[in-house]
Copies of this chain bind each other. A is one copy, B any other.
Amino acid sequence: EGRRARPAETMWRIGLAFGLGVALEALLGWLLKRRRASSSTAIEVIFFPSKVTCTEELLAGVPCVCPLPHGESALSRLLVRVLEARRSLDLCFFAFSSPQLGRAVLLLHSRGVRVRLVIDSDYMALRGSQIGPLRRAGIPVRHDQDRGYMHHKFAIVDKKVLITGSLNWTTQAIQTNQENVLVVEDQALVNIFVAEFEKIWENYNPANYTFFSKHEKTGIENA
């Protein structure tokens, strides 16, 4: 009537069965995790206008004691994400005149990050345009010469993070406009924008320029 000790063979079989179940679980969990990883997406939203804050510490790397507020702002959050670039920064903007973002791009360039910039030809000579300083520092800049606008407003950081939205990189937009910026980590999406950037970069190759027959007012010499 009393239970006898199980023979070793039976113990071994029970252990094997349990192990098979766990192995099946581990395999399925790994497959699920792989699917999750391949479709994992993180999106940060930054709304503007930004309050005016001091961004010297971000850009100069040393604490600043100027009278401006020193907390976080929409601009400082955007700068942080741009400054994360370590290998490449591809910029595609309708207008670019923000001195802080200009300094951030120059800083990355000086660190050896490969920067490329596409800009709309009608707005590259905007008051305060950063195109001149960026070109003088050796950053390659290309622009459209179409009737339509190059109206994108996106940046690609290290071919891994997409920064896109309604915001042109101008002080007016940053400080006074209602704007949104998405910072998207999604490799499939980023790859699509990388391909779009490369296509535009090739389309706007200076070898194809027709010397501004239609856009003389915005010649390269004004930038």
Contact = CB atoms under 8 A, between A and B. Distances in A.
Interface of A: 6, 10, 13-15, 17-26, 28-29, 32-33, 35-36, 39-41, 43, 45, 47, 49, 94, 144, 146-154, 164-167, 172-173, 175-180, 182, 184, 186, 189, 192-193, 196, 200
Contacts of A154: 166, 180
Contacts of A25: 21-22, 24-26, 28-29
A22 to B, nearest CB: 5
Copies of this chain: 2
Nearest to A36: B36
A139 to B, nearest CB: 20
A130 B22 CA distance: 62
Contacts of A148: 49, 172, 175-178
Nearest to A204: B178
A172 to B, nearest CB: 7
A200 B23 CA distance: 53
A102 to B, nearest CB: 20
B186 A166 contact: no
B192 A45 contact: yes
Most chain B CB within a 10 A radius of its CB, from A14, A24, A178: A178
Given A35-B36, A43-B184, A164-B180, 10 more contacts: A10-B13, A13-B14, A19-B21, A25-B29, A29-B32, A148-B172, A149-B178, A151-B166, A152-B178, A180-B196
A162 to B, nearest CB: 9
A160 to B, nearest CB: 15
A16 to B, nearest CB: 8
A210 to B, nearest CB: 18
B151 A177 contact: yes
Most chain B CB within a 10 A radius of its CB, from A149, A167, A200: A149
A179 B154 CA distance: 10
Nearest to A151: B177
